[in-house]
A and B are shown apart, each in its own frame.
Chain A
Amino acid sequence: MLNKVRAWVEDRTGLESGIGHFLNEDIPASSGWHQVFGSMALFMFLVQVFTGIMMALNYAPTTAEAHSSLRYILTELTAGRLMRGLHHWGASMMICIVVLHMVQVFLWGAYKKPREATWMLGVVLLLLTLGFGLTGYLLPWDNRAYWGTVVTTQIAAKAPGMGPYILTLLGSEDGQIGSVTFARFYAAHVLILPAVTALLIFLHVYLVRRHGVAPAPVETAPPIKFYPRQVFKDTVAIFAMFALLFVLAVAVRVPLGKLADPNDVSYIPRPEWYFLFLFQVLKYFEGPLEIVGSMILPGIAVVLLFLTPFIDRGKAIALRQRTGAIGVLVLSLIGWGALTAAALSTTPHRDPWKGFTAEEMAAIGTFRQAECWKCHSSSPGDSRPGPNLADIAVLRDRDWLVKHFKDASAEAGKSVKDLQWRRLATFLPKLDDENVESLHQTPQTLVAGAVVYQQNNCGACHQINGAGMKSGPGLNGVAKRWDRKWMEEHFIDPESKSPGTIMPAYKFSPADMTAMLDYMMSLTD
């Protein structure tokens, strides 16, 4: 019966003989592990298509709902975080594989006559892959996405003569990023780029088949079949890559930041790692020269890459005879690496607790006092039994949390005041991927200082990070106005430092005084 169906399908479609024809292609006997990258890139593309479709099934592509629907995928759906992890790390991995593929083809001189068109299609595919990265970057619609895309579109806006047209095309007529830009990026990411990429991959593979896999300088053995020896190598390489991707997706949490906020001036925009070198180049060209870094140099690089088969027309394909080509490759890799490293090393770090109010800092104290961290993880790659607290706002409400605190602490024999629990229950839902690590990263002395601050009700007169009253001076940046010693004496005897003040004297224990002063000195503007 099965054989009959098979025969029918073969007779009507030629499916089986077609697959057989594809797999039984002759390839040079020298083919081997160095030629697995093309198959790996194709496989990565399929993984991206699959995980992309999976996410699209639960994603609302508008500025109003993109962030909340992605949050829903990440926090409420089984394997939602895995899907996004695979897609996110898959994008980076795809860039790596595509570059490795090009390096291999370059080293083996496989772009030479008659394979020039295959190479040029490959360069276009590289650009398309980067296009996926650029457009996909906006889709989470968090601060990272928003500010990254602001910079991208502003660079495009500076194209001489065409700037305004490019901006309009990107849906940013007035220079602002909003619904239209979002729609354009989304459409490019899920409609235009996949269709064009799939077509070009087809043509690329067709050309590989037309010209055959590039042979070694001297082929001694007769050709072998593609299947199963080379397919086996391709499959092993694909499996190793997929296993690594899967582990990354499970173990390394991809953050979803705060909802895109055009007014958040504290955010430090940084592009994805594979664009960092371009980002760094922009720092070296100022004023009218900026265009050199933003367009002319990258443009020249792309044209050179595209025309490589015509620049290097030498017949030599053995590595030893091609020192010039190797030199170019090594120099490009060093240049790229150095620029990326420079960009990474100059990325400023912002401590997530810097914006917390004293009450929120004191809530961290409660968290530590009650040893909640014994069950709950608050950093990527950390897998404790309790849920990760970056998701808690979606999963639980405040009343539930307070009850949970009481039950869990009663079991562990901890005694904590109700008021502290309520503050912790107010604080935890404010945590997200960007600041959840503050639970264990915030220096204990600052937390202790904030607890002292709360116990003495300092907020009745003073303000920190927008919380508290204003009858006394605000405390942000107080370290710039007074030094530590002055402040210590002021706590002990305010009248001696500022005559006529209404601030009462505070007799802290030495430990409390140290913590309080540490906390005061840490408050930034």
Chain B
Amino acid sequence: MKPPSPEEPRRGFLIASINGLMGLITAALALPSAGYLLGGSKAKRPADWVPAGDLAKLEQNVPEQIVFERVRRDGWKTVKEKASAWMVKTSEKEVVAFSPVCTHLGCAVSWDGSAKTFACPCHTSSFGTDGKVLAGPAPRALDRFAVKMDGTTILLGEIRQADKA
């Protein structure tokens, strides 16, 4: 900036005011906008327990993909949609339900019966029947649904992240 000239002794004050006021306006718009875009929805609804298959019909340690219907909040909509889980029956009373989403970049994993692994078709990550990473770039084991039993009916809740592999 030019040095203050004698005709405009308040030049420095004027410029500082212009920058200050414009800065305030910018902040008054930018801060709420950050909250608006990054804050997410204030209405938190925990996922309902949804029935997803019958434990009695599963074979022990043979993963099976179970498709079930769930209700999900999609922005301003509540949608009823199909979802799936890879079920691994671990005992007569217990089952582990893996999310079919690869923990690397979200491709759908499927069971490779001959290799006995969950294989990701995108970047060749593979997971064992316990969900742990066997190979590939996946950063952690497969995510699991919370599981609850109602008789022999399997109820699935929220998806939880497994610990890092």
Residues of chain A having any CB pair with chain B under 8 Å:
47, 50, 54, 57-58, 60, 65, 68-69, 71-72, 75-80, 82-83, 228-229, 231-232, 235-236, 238-239, 242, 246, 394-395
**B43→A75 contact, CB < 8 A:** yes
Q: Known contacts A54-B33, A228-B14, A242-B25: does B75 contact A69 (CB below 8 Å)? A: yes
Distance of A82 Cα from B14 Cα, bound (Å): 30
B3 / chain A contacts, CB cutoff of 8 Å: none
B18 / chain A contacts, CB cutoff of 8 Å: 228, 231-232, 235
Interface membership of B115, Cβ < 8 A: no
Which single member of A47, A75, A78, A229 contacts B35 (CB below 8 Å)? A78
A-B contact count (CB 8 A): 74
Listed by A's residue number, 18 A-B pairs whose Cβ atoms lie within 8 Å are A57-B37, A68-B76, A68-B77, A69-B75, A76-B43, A77-B41, A78-B36, A78-B42, A83-B33, A228-B8, A228-B14, A228-B15, A232-B18, A235-B17, A235-B21, A239-B21, A242-B25, A395-B42
By Cβ-Cβ distance, the 9 closest A-B pairs, closest first, are A78-B39, A72-B76, A79-B32, A78-B35, A228-B14, A232-B14, A239-B21, A79-B36, A76-B41
Interface membership of B80, Cβ < 8 A: no
Q: Chain A residue with minimal CB distance to B12? A: A228
Interface membership of B71, Cβ < 8 A: no
A69 / chain B contacts, CB cutoff of 8 Å: 75-76
Q: Which of A71, A76, A80 has most chain B Cβ within 10 Å?
A: A76
User: Min CB distance, B152 to chain A, in Å?
Assistant: 28
Known: A71-B76, A228-B18. 15 other contacts (CB 8 A): A54-B37, A58-B75, A60-B76, A69-B75, A75-B43, A77-B39, A82-B36, A83-B33, A228-B11, A229-B8, A232-B14, A232-B15, A236-B17, A236-B21, A239-B21
Q: Which of A65, A77, A238 has most chain B Cβ within 10 Å?
A: A77
A68 / chain B contacts, CB cutoff of 8 Å: 76-77
B41 / chain A contacts, CB cutoff of 8 Å: 72, 76-77
Distance of A71 Cα from B43 Cα, bound (Å): 12
B77 / chain A contacts, CB cutoff of 8 Å: 65, 68
Q: Mark B32-73, 1 if CB is under 8 A from A, else 0.
A: 110111010111000000000000000000000000000000
Q: Which of A71, A79, A231 has most chain B Cβ within 10 Å?
A: A79
User: Min CB distance, B1 to chain A, in Å?
Assistant: 10
Looking at chain B's contact residues, is the secondary structure mostly helix, strand, loop, or mixed? helix
**A79→B25 contact, CB < 8 A:** no
**B28→A246 contact, CB < 8 A:** yes
**B21→A82 contact, CB < 8 A:** no
Looking at chain A's contact residues, is the secondary structure mostly helix, strand, loop, or mixed? helix
Q: Known contacts A235-B21, A239-B21, A239-B24: does B43 contact A395 (CB below 8 Å)? A: yes
Distance of A235 Cα from B41 Cα, bound (Å): 35
Distance of A75 Cα from B32 Cα, bound (Å): 15
User: Min CB distance, A274 to chain B, in Å?
Assistant: 24
**A79→B17 contact, CB < 8 A:** no
Which single member of A72, A75, A78 contacts B75 (CB below 8 Å)? A72
Q: Chain A residue with minimal CB distance to B17? A: A232
**A79→B33 contact, CB < 8 A:** yes
Q: Chain A residue with minimal CB distance to B41? A: A76
Distance of A77 Cα from B15 Cα, bound (Å): 37
